[in-house]
Amino acid sequence: MGRGQCVSASKSSLTALTLGAIGVVYGDIGTSVLYAVKEVFGSGHVPFTPDNVYGILSIFFWTLTVIVSLKYVVLVLRADNNGEGGLVAMLALASQSVKDKPRLRRVLLAVGIFGTCLFYGDGVITPAISVLSAVEGLEVVSPAFKRYVIPLTLIILLGLFMVQKRGTAGIGKFFGPITLVWFACIALLGLIHIQANPAILWAISPHYALGFMWHNPGITFIILGAVVLCVTGGEALYADMGHFGKKPIRVAWFAVVMPALTLNYFGQGALLLKDPAAVKNPFFLMAPDWALVPLVVLATMTTVIASQALISGAFSVTKQVIQLGYLPRLQVQHTSVKEAGQIYLSFVNWGLFVAIVLAVVLFKSSSNLAAAYGIAVCTDMLITTILTFYVIRYRWNYPLALCIAATGFFFVVDFAFWASNMFKLFDGGWFPLLIGGAVFTLMMTWHDGRRLLNARLRDDAIDLPGFLESVFVSPPVRVEGTAVFLTAEPGTVPNAMLHNLKHNKVLHQNNLFVTVRNHEVPWIGMEKRIEIEPLGHDCWQVVIHYGFKNDPDIPKALQQLKGRGCELDDMRTSYFLSRDTVIPTIGGGMAQWREKLFAQMHRNASAAADFLKLPNNSVVELGSKIEI
């Protein structure tokens, strides 16, 4: 291939990735134009004067610039974990950076996991407010449609969650083009109204924002809770970095998304200067009457796409958290033979749906949901800033003064938005916090319970090399084939082996003692996948390594043993697992209710055989009871 062809191919790839990023990464922030301006001016805190309109638009523009352009696009996108982004990747990066400070590492892990839990709260509010605000456009078409808004919203959301099991590979290719049409439309709507009042563009000057803040400090602090709606979805830039790469995300933002958002917000400002009564729904009132119904349809399609990206994100985050050891195994279905990242988790899917239905029915309108929105997002943004400090200080080894300056500014901005949103705590902000708190309780209970369970297993464990030596003094009958015993700790005798010897009184010709290790990195390549140590008597200790984005597949990993002294024949290999039943005890390592909760989670976890992709007809499970 010639140099010109290479350049052409790379441009084509960049174009495709940029279009994909527009559809997946920016759907959420792109639909914030539906409700952000309405909530700020509709709050009743800001009097309608030209100076105030200019000031608010300037605050919108500089919020987008500081939080999205500077913080996420310029700084946070640099903190990739082997090319991956998102709060889980940032958490893993930060915890690795301070691994020589165990107390600090534990605190950062707890803070990061809490931020991850709030993602689920955000995952409930975002589809609810986005789809509801789009369907509310029907009220602008005719007030008679008002009674159909909530039922229609619920029907659309039900349809969205029902198709998750089939995957989005077929319709995913339309996400980018549809969202691009959306950005073109909102930019055009903005331009039409800016053309009638070009002077509104002067609001780009920061002195309007600073002037408004100076003259109205109390009002500014209160309305920040609504202003933050314009950057909801900004975290997706970082979370989806692994799918698209930094350059397409940056190109999409500066070439398409930021200009379109700015034009639309300023167009809404121009409309409000001309007609203050338009505050009831400034976005849809920008459109001419003939375009209203098509705009409602396009807005609904775009909000569904934005919700789809968040639901897919919830599946991915859950899978990563499971492999980090903070949730029990859940059944994971792959919905695409080409894309390993396209997965479906039934429990997460329908859990989200039930919570979203509750949110829609409980809050009834996008304005009420806006009161619930913001706290989870701002807390996540604050946590991202804190974790970024530890990454650039302890991993990149930048000078302390530079680290404080770089993250301190964003911390102050994030904290101001967070503090303002706390005023909404009793108006609905409790809802995503309640969801996040419940998930956090589950995650920490599972993590602590696993630690106690593993400690109990270690206390009762028998040293494997010594045990084998004693067994082979007077060896039992050896049968053909290979036995693979899964064990939590290398060097210890698995319960399954003890039960097999006790009840069947035989030993296989070849015996592998396999431990799976999950690491705080996204990917571990095949060249580092497996370690093997011979124990003699045709027995081997095997450790298999996975990153939190790898798909565990034990049979596939064991194929790497070929040529290393241990050959596996799939038809003559049996997998032995211990099926432990946890018995809570009084005075154990956790509160009684947490031990009972852990025991219930342990009992309901999906089978290890399915999670590790073991062939069903080759698995033998042997049970035991363990008190914690």
Average pLDDT over residues 147-163: 93
Q: What is the pLDDT of residue 11?
A: 60
> What is the C-alpha separation between 459 and 455, in angstroms, rounded?
6
Average pLDDT over residues 404-424: 92
Asked if 168 and 17 count as a contact pair (C-beta separation under 8 A), the reply is: no
pLDDT digits (tens, 9 = 90+) for 571-584: 889 999 887 788 88
> What is the C-alpha separation between 259 and 266, in angstroms, rounded?
11
Whether residue 289 has pLDDT greater than 80 = yes
Q: Give the rounded distance of the alpha carbon of 574 from its chain centre.
A: 36
Asked if 20 and 244 count as a contact pair (C-beta separation under 8 A), the reply is: yes
Specify the residue for token string 């009684």.
592
β-bridge mates for residue 546, sequence order: 518
Asked if 414 and 380 count as a contact pair (C-beta separation under 8 A), the reply is: no
Residue type, 355: A
pLDDT band at 549 (very low <50, low <70, confident <90, very high): confident
Helices and strands counted in the chain (H then E): 28, 8
pLDDT band at 339 (very low <50, low <70, confident <90, very high): low
pLDDT band at 184 (very low <50, low <70, confident <90, very high): very high
Whether residue 249 has pLDDT greater than 60 = yes
Q: Mutual orientation of helices 375-394 and 87-97 as an angle, nearest 10°?
A: 30
Whether residue 340 has pLDDT greater than 60 = no
> What is the C-alpha separation between 135 and 149, in angstroms, rounded?
6
The DSSP-derived string for 532-561 is EEEEETTEEEEEEEEETTS---HHHHHGGG
Asked if 193 and 268 count as a contact pair (C-beta separation under 8 A), the reply is: yes
Whether residue 173 has pLDDT greater than 90 = no
> What is the C-alpha separation between 100 and 292, in angstroms, rounded?
59
pLDDT band at 32 (very low <50, low <70, confident <90, very high): very high
Q: What is the mean pLDDT of the chain?
A: 88
Q: Output the CA torsion sign for 106, 110, 112, 116.
A: positive
Bigger pLDDT: 174 vs 327: 327
Whether residue 359 has pLDDT greater than 90 = yes
Q: Output the CA torsion sign for 403, 408, 413, 416.
A: positive
Q: What is the pLDDT of residue 317?
A: 87
Average pLDDT over residues 515-542: 89
What is the H or E stretch that residue 574 is in? strand 573-583
> What is the C-alpha separation between 439 and 116, in angstroms, rounded?
9
Q: What is the pLDDT of residue 545?
A: 94
Which token pair is 524? Answer: 């571990």
Q: What is the pLDDT of residue 186?
A: 97
Asked if 350 and 160 count as a contact pair (C-beta separation under 8 A), the reply is: no
Q: Mutual orientation of helices 3-24 and 292-324 as an angle, nearest 10°?
A: 100
> What is the C-alpha separation between 612 and 592, in angstroms, rounded?
31
pLDDT digits (tens, 9 = 90+) for 486-501: 988 888 888 888 888 8
Among the listed residues 437, 487, 447, the one whose alpha carbon sits nearest the alpha carbon of residue 325: 447
Average pLDDT over residues 142-163: 91
Q: What is the pLDDT of residue 588?
A: 66
Cα end-to-end span (Å), the chain: 64
Residues 6+ apart with CB under 8 A from 600: none
Asked if 75 and 241 count as a contact pair (C-beta separation under 8 A), the reply is: no
Pairing of strands 539-547, 506-519: parallel
pLDDT band at 190 (very low <50, low <70, confident <90, very high): very high
Whether residue 201 has pLDDT greater than 90 = yes
Average pLDDT over residues 365-392: 89
Candidate from 155-159, 524-528, 585-589 with smallest mean pLDDT: 585-589
CATH number of 14-428: 1.20.1740.10
User: What are the Cα distances from residue 223, in Å, to 41, 53, 59, 208, 271?
Assistant: 9, 13, 10, 16, 20
pLDDT digits (tens, 9 = 90+) for 454-475: 888 888 788 898 999 898 888 8
Entry field: residues in the chain: 628
Bigger pLDDT: 426 vs 267: 267
Q: Please report, to the nearest 10 degrees, the dihedral formed by the alpha carbons of residues 120, 124, 127, 133 taken in order.
A: -140
Average pLDDT over residues 520-541: 89
Q: Please report, to the nearest 10 degrees, the dihedral formed by the alpha carbons of residues 589, 592, 597, 599 taken in order.
A: 60
Which token pair is 320? Answer: 């990563």
Q: Is 514 helix (H, G, I), strand (E, B) or coil?
A: strand
> What is the C-alpha separation between 628 and 595, in angstroms, rounded?
8
> What is the C-alpha separation between 13 and 541, in angstroms, rounded?
44
- Ranges in the chain annotated CATH 1.20.1740.10: 14-428
Q: What is the pLDDT of residue 590?
A: 85
Q: pTM for this structure? A: 0.86
Asked if 585 and 539 count as a contact pair (C-beta separation under 8 A), the reply is: no
pLDDT band at 197 (very low <50, low <70, confident <90, very high): very high
Q: What is the pLDDT of residue 188?
A: 97
Q: What is the pLDDT of residue 8?
A: 44
Whether residue 33 has pLDDT greater than 90 = yes
DSSP state of 571: G
Among the listed residues 22, 42, 163, 45, the one whose alpha carbon sits nearest the alpha carbon of residue 420: 45
Q: Is 198 exposed, middle or buried (0-12, 13-18, 19+ CB in 10 A)?
A: exposed
Specify the residue for token string 């005075």.
587
Residues 6+ apart with CB under 8 A from 61: 203, 204, 209, 262, 265, 266
Whether residue 83 has pLDDT greater than 80 = no
The DSSP-derived string for 175-208 is HHHHHHHHHHHHHHHHHHHHHH-GGGGGGGSHHH
Q: Is 626 left (phi over 0), alpha (psi -120 to 50) or beta?
A: beta
Which token pair is 40? Answer: 């700020």
Q: What is the pLDDT of residue 273?
A: 92
Q: What is the pLDDT of residue 6?
A: 38
Write out the E strands in 410-569. Answer: 477-486, 506-519, 530-536, 539-547
Residue 577 dihedral angles phi and psi, to the nearest 5°: -120, 150
Rg, Å, the chain Cα set: 28
Q: What is the pLDDT of residue 2?
A: 44
- Name the H helices within 197-291: 206-215, 217-227, 236-239, 241-244, 246-252, 258-274, 282-285
Asked if 194 and 259 count as a contact pair (C-beta separation under 8 A), the reply is: no
Among the listed residues 225, 595, 156, 508, the one whose alpha carbon sits nearest the alpha carbon of residue 379: 225
Pairing of strands 539-547, 573-583: unpaired
